Amino acid sequence: MIDEIRAWDIEVRDQVIDLVRACREVDGHSPLDEAAVLRLKNRGLTGSRLWLADRAGFALLHDGGLELAVAPEHRGSGLGTALASAAVEEARTAWSHGDHPAAAALAQRFGFARARELWVMRRPVGAEPALSGEIGIRAYTDADRDELLRVNAEAFASHPEQGAMDADNLAERMSEPWFDPAGLLVVADGERMLGFHWTKQHSPEVGEVYVVGTDPAAQGRGLGKALTIAGLRHLAGVLDADGEVILYVESDNTPARRLYESLGFTHVAADTHVQYRR
């Protein structure tokens, strides 16, 4: 039975967490993106709708965006179709984290077309590129908050997820256990921030080029590459020697892909997230 859940209580939270964990263990990717996880953690179901099939699967709808998960042992039973049917009327977009064939089939059935590809790229820790000493890069301080938000908004004005980060969302991210001010690197000209690289450590073995943003007015000065290298060197200092660094990049962002490839990042087809639209 599929029920629409009205209250984000402990029992519901634990069911969703268990489903996410089971899917991640089998698929290698979480069925929820970071924005959805933070919303549920900090705001519950405010502004969202959740359909839950006990511990077998769920559909989560927020602002027209649909994310769906079916426990591995219940796949192939028609549950994904049933969950999508319950939630799809108000959905304009849907994510498949990992580019699953079943998700592609569901998308076609409900009139969604493949619209975006988000790549995961990876490189091993070690042999970090040299960093020029001409660009002054330092760690973030609380006084940088407003400038960080400004640069982020301008750098990601066309990015529907990252560009929407406001002060509350920034505070939520900074309250996460992984946040380390030393891993948020900035470069500034006086009081004006020119760019930043926010790194993220998932575990002793895995780090992430989380966000690299530069002020559009400062582009063309090599700041993005310098900040990326600085972040890689920071991560090399906190990760295990045999660890890896990951990042997410839009598949059609050719300049960014070329930069990351020049720094040793590679991509395989299985590391692809797909957004469908109708």
Phi/psi-derived region of residue 140, left when phi > 0, alpha when psi is between -120 and 50, beta in every other case:
beta
* b/e sequence 136-171, b meaning 16+ C-beta within 10 Å: ebeebeeebeebbbebbbebbeeeeebeebeeebee
Tokens in use for 15? 């069911």
Alpha carbon of 210 to those of 48, 201, 240: distances in Å? Answer: 25, 9, 18
Tell me the DSSP string of 37-61.
HHHHHHHTTTTEEEEEETTTEEEEE
Q: DSSP assignment, residue 180?
A: -
Rg (CA), the chain: 20
Q: In what order do the strands lie in the sheet with 65-70?
A: 3-5, 48-53, 57-62, 65-70, 93-97, 272-277, 113-124, 244-250, 206-214, 192-201, 184-189, 137-139
pLDDT < 70 stretches in the chain: 132-134
How many Å apart are CA 258 and CA 264, to the nearest integer?
A: 10
Question: Alpha-carbon torsion 67, 72, 74, 76, what sign?
Answer: positive
Query: 10 Å Cβ neighbour count for 228?
Result: 24
Give me the half-sphere count of Cα atoms (radius 13 Å) on the Cβ side of residue 93: 12
Longest dimension (CA), the chain: 62
Per-residue model confidence as pLDDT tens digits over 167-212: 999 999 999 999 999 999 999 999 999 999 999 999 999 999 999 9
How many Å apart are CA 161 and CA 249, to the nearest integer?
A: 12
Query: 10 Å Cβ neighbour count for 108?
Result: 12
Q: DSSP assignment, residue 266?
A: B
How many Å apart are CA 97 and CA 32, to the nearest integer?
A: 8
What pLDDT score was predicted for residue 127?
79
Domains of the chain: 3-111 (3.40.630.30), 121-272 (3.40.630.30)
Question: Alpha-carbon torsion 151, 170, 182, 232, what sign?
Answer: negative
What pLDDT score was predicted for residue 133?
66
